[in-house]
Structures are given as structure tokens and as C-alpha cells.
Structure 1
Amino acid sequence: MNEVLLYTLTLNPAIDRLLYLNEKLERRKSNRITEVSYDIGGKGTHASYVMSKLGVKNLALGFAGSQNIDKFKQILSEKNMEHDFTIIDGRTTRECYIMIEPEQVSAGSIMLTEKGFHVEEADIKRLFDRIKARVKAEDMVLIAGSLPTNFTIDNLRQLLRILKEIGCFIACDLSGEAIKLAVKMKVDFIKPNEFELKQLKASHESLFDTVKRLNQDIDYVVTSLGEKGSYCGYDRKIYRVIPPKVKEVNDTGAGDCFVGAFLAGLANQLSIEEIVKLASGCAASKVMNKDSSTFDVKTAMELKQQVKITQL
């Protein structure tokens, strides 16, 4: 059997600019920044970073702007991430501004995101051709995050059809009309959060019932409930997952960390219980760190032993 290769597809990546404040953020006041740092942004790139740290071979794909490509690649290099982004000439990869208050006063990070650049049909074709040339039936592909300007639902439908024709495992961490399309096309994995799941449920359904129904057609259905944990639907069984209690510093990227670790566990052919424990442990470690993607593998392995799983 050929080695499984994981691909992440971040169609609207970002450079995260983390702004550390010396006091609680207040209106009508000069809020002073004590430190500025940079991190990779975008759900797919976060997942690639997790896979790389866990030793699972993967390649980050997507679009990136030429105007700040050196900064973008520098961050990817610092994260030891393999990548092959489709470069859009004359465009700038968007920035996200994440304000982080001191731990003792923080109620969670504050994020401001730019919209992202416009892609043309020729750019989309270049990316799709790259995917057709690389991805094989035994591979796994994660499509994660927002869609760039001018990348339509029809473009997403075309992308999913390409991957369906290849026959690879398709994972989607999307929202809005995009996640609805992924459900309709019966991909292999979805991870809606609680709000996104409510958009997928029928009026008479509970969240549990919705996960159960979606799991009839989608092999893996994971719904994140924040610090309350998650539901995981697999093989028409529903698991309730309670994560360990940790001190939260920055929750940005925790869900992405969960997805990256979950798919890494799948690639390593772990049991569903071990996969969920690994993903929950990595996500718990992530929220203890300041930036958007960092987690500690050793801490994650310790935390995963505290994850509680119940089959409902």
C-alpha cells in the first residue's frame, strides 16, 4: 500500500499579527501594546502545522499573494511546514489582528480579520490543475476556512467533484453555504461548531439527533462545543467527549488544532477513541499558548489521558 499523504487546502490564508496588551482592552482609551508577534493564519495551515509536529507527512496547498509572500513563506519555514501555494501576482495575503489581554483579565482573545484578495478563474484553474497532478486515491485532503473573494459555491462544488473523481478521503472544516454543500455531496469528514451545526439541523432536532442523522452519510461528524467538549459521530455511534480543564490564554486555532490531530490519528490508523483523545489533548494544549497555532506535544500527550469519552 502506498504511503498516505495528507493535503491541507487553505483557500483564504492569513498572516496573524498578535498584539499583546498590558491591560484590559477599553474603549475611549489608548490601549498600549507591549509585544507584537506573527503566526500563520487560516484553518488549513493550522492543521498542517499540527500534523507536522505530530510527525505526519503533509503538504499545505492554497492561494497566497505575491506582495507579502516572503513574510508568508518565512512563517511557514519557521513552523517547519512543507507547502506549495499557488501565488497570485499583485495580491496581498490578508492579515488578521488578534488582541490578547493579560491572563488575569482576559475573557478570550479578540480577532479582527481582513476579507482577503480577489481570485480570478485563471488562478482557480491553476490551483485545480495542481491538485489533479498531485492528489492520489489513497490520500486525504482537508479543505478548511473561508472562501476568498470571487471563489464561488460553484467553484467549491467543482473542487469537491474533482476530489470525488480522484477517490481520496475528503475532510471539510467550512461554514455557511460551503458546509451545507459538503454535507450534500457526502464528504468523509466535517467539523461544524455548535452554531454551524444549528444551521444544519431540522427544527425538531436536538444537536445530538443532527449529528446522528449526518453520520448516516458522512463517516466522521465532529461538533465542537468549545470548553464543553464535543460530539463525535463515527460508524453510526455517537460519542460525548469531555476535554481536560486547562487555563485558557488564547482559544484562537483550538478547533483547527483538533482537526489536524484528528486527521493525523486517522492517517496513523488509531482507534476512534485514541483519535478523539489525541485531538482533544492537542486542542487543550493549544489554548494554553499565546499565539494562533502553538501547542506542546508532550503536554498534549499528558492531557489526552484526562479526556473522558462516553458512547451515547
Structure 2
Amino acid sequence: MITVVGSYNTDTILKLERFPVPGETVFVQGKLISHGGKGSNQAVSAARLGANVSLVAAVGNDERGTIALKFLQQEKVDTSCVKVKEAQTGSAYILLNGQGETMIIVDRGANYELVAEDLYQCLRGDVLLTQLEIREEVVRFALKEFNGLRILNPAPAELRSLDILENVDILTPNEIEFKEISNSDDMLYGAEVLLKRVKKAIVVTLGENGSVIFTKHKSVRIPTIKVRAVDTTGAGDVFNAALALFLERGYDLEQAAENANIIASISVTSYGALGPKWEEVKELLQEK
């Protein structure tokens, strides 16, 4: 089983021809409201691929929280550890331009009310997948207490202390997050610094260029397929969900990352932050 500790947000996606510059007004070309939040995205995307997934998160005691719980249950995610808080359900506002690029603003809401005590009896399974849209001390507690493979997707890359990495087996930043955490533009040097704390490996996602794996002994570039992107929202979440799934199934890290690259690439060919279902990708995975 995969346990995801993270956030749930209601996403409001605003489609624009281009991003505004400071002081400029632009008109919305389309609006979409959907389910989001890195924890929810990763849990649902893993479940769609056939994983047994439990989500540890918080929603508000409001209509959006009720809708969120119903949605997660419909997607076959175990919600027994999703807490209902006296707060508004988290929300995210996503600007999407004509090139499929995004800018995202998050109001954490109930996500920020999740505390370490909420995790008791919930840290079970073979793989833990967590992110940083909830309180850092909650993430720190989850990583320290979980008995299994621990994956940290450091997004957003706001860490008070790098000591948290000492309880991380696999770190999965994108290129920007990697530079922020390592404080270096030199990827080899930055990886060397971070691997003094991270137990096993760093997997840096590179968008259309695939990903690169750094271990203490080597670095390996992992390719992906070429697609026409229409919406890159959630691509990193889909990658992390697929990576956790294949690692739980016993694939080695390079195989798991290659499959995750492909599934994340497929996800950006349609709108929304959630990944494809297993039936949509299984033949493509077998052909590679």
C-alpha cells in the first residue's frame, strides 16, 4: 500500500492567452473548477494506476470538503485518515497560458490545520509519498515515523532546515526546486551536497526532457516520449504517483522513473491535474 500525506485543494483554473505583466489587465478565456492539491493529486493518480492508496490530509467543514471526500472515495482512495477541520477547504488559483504553462497561488486553508497527532495509526503501508503544501513539522513527523520507503516531493521548495532530508530515501524535486534546495546551479555539485543527507537517490524531473537520477555512485538521464502539451498542471504529481506505484511493485529506480516519465507526459496532453487510468497507458508502457 502507498500512504500519501499531503494537501487537498479546490482548483480554480483560469485560461489566458498569455500571463499579464505587473500592472496589466488580461481577460480570461475560460474557467474550470476541479479537484487538486498535491496530496490529493498524487493519491488519486496512483489509485487510477491501480495502487492501493490511503490519503492522510485535511479538508474543511464546508461544502467543498464534503465534495472532496465524496470525490476521493469515488476514485477508490482510502479516506479514513482524511480529517475534517473547522476551517475552509484549501484552494488553489491556477493561471494557464496558451503555451500550457502555469502560475499557481495557493490558500492552504484546512491543509494548514493538519497536525502530527492526526497521523497516529495512519502511517502504514510500504511506500510513503509526501510534499510541502502542509506544515513542515507534519511532513517531518511522517518521514521520521514511517517504516518503509520514504519519498519527499519538495514542492513548494520552502524548507526551514535541510535536516528533514535525513529521513528521506528518495527526493523528487523539479529543476527549480532542486536549485532552491541545493543552493546551486551546478546539478552535479548540488546532488553531491544533498546526497550527504538523502539516503538513496535524488530524481530531478525535467519536463519534456524526462528526468535525471543521482545516487552516490552515478547519475543517469532517463528519457521520455514527445507529446504536445496543453496543460502541465499536476505533471509532477502524476510523475511522483507513478514512481511510487512502480517502486512499490518492485521495479528498480531507473525502470520506475522511465515509466513515470511516460505517464506524466501523457497527463499533459489533456486538461487538469490528475493522471491517466491504467487502461490508457498500459499498452504504451509495454511498447517501450
Q: Same fold (TM over 0.5)?
A: yes
Q: In the alignment, what sits opposite 2:76?
A: 80
Q: Does 1:169 align with 2:183?
A: no
| Cα distance, 1:94–1:228 mapped onto 2, change above 3 Å | same
Deviation at residue 18 of structure 1 after TM alignment: 3.0
| Cα distance, 1:36–1:158 mapped onto 2, change above 3 Å | closer
Question: SS at the partner of 2:92?
Answer: strand
Separation in 1 of the partners of 2:39 and 2:273? 12
Q: In the alignment, what sits opposite 1:264?
A: 245
Question: SS at the partner of 1:83?
Answer: strand
**Contact 2:123–2:142 (8 Å) recurs in 1:** no
| Cα distance, 1:213–1:299 mapped onto 2, change above 3 Å | farther
Q: In the alignment, what sits opposite 2:105?
A: 112
Separation in 2 of the partners of 1:286 and 1:115? 25
Q: Does 1:180 align with 2:162?
A: yes
Runs of 5+ in structure 1 lacking a partner? 308-312
Q: Does 1:61 align with 2:66?
A: no
| Cα distance, 1:243–1:37 mapped onto 2, change above 3 Å | same
Runs of 5+ in structure 2 lacking a partner? none
Q: In the alignment, what sits opposite 1:28?
A: 25
Give the alignment's Cα RMSD to 1 decimal: 2.9
**Contact 1:8–1:59 (8 Å) recurs in 2:** yes
**Contact 2:14–2:29 (8 Å) recurs in 1:** no
Equivalent of 1:98, from 80, 94, 99? 94
Deviation at residue 54 of structure 1 after TM alignment: 1.6
**Residues 107-148 of structure 1, C-alpha deviation per residue, up to 9 Å, x if partnerless?**
52343322434756xx6254132xxx2434x6221112312x
Deviation at residue 262 of structure 1 after TM alignment: 0.6
Based on CA coordinates, which of the two structures has the bigger radius of gyration? 1
| Cα distance, 1:28–1:225 mapped onto 2, change above 3 Å | same
Structure 1 stretches of at least 4 aligned residues deviating more than 6 Å after TM superposition: none
Separation in 2 of the partners of 1:273 and 1:161? 25
**Contact 1:14–1:96 (8 Å) recurs in 2:** yes
Equivalent of 1:128, from 115, 119, 140? 119
| Cα distance, 1:194–1:78 mapped onto 2, change above 3 Å | same
Which residues of 2 match residues 134-145 of structure 1 at below 5 A? 134-136=122-124, 139-145=126-132
Output the amino acid matched with 2:127: M
Q: In the alignment, what sits opposite 1:291?
A: 272
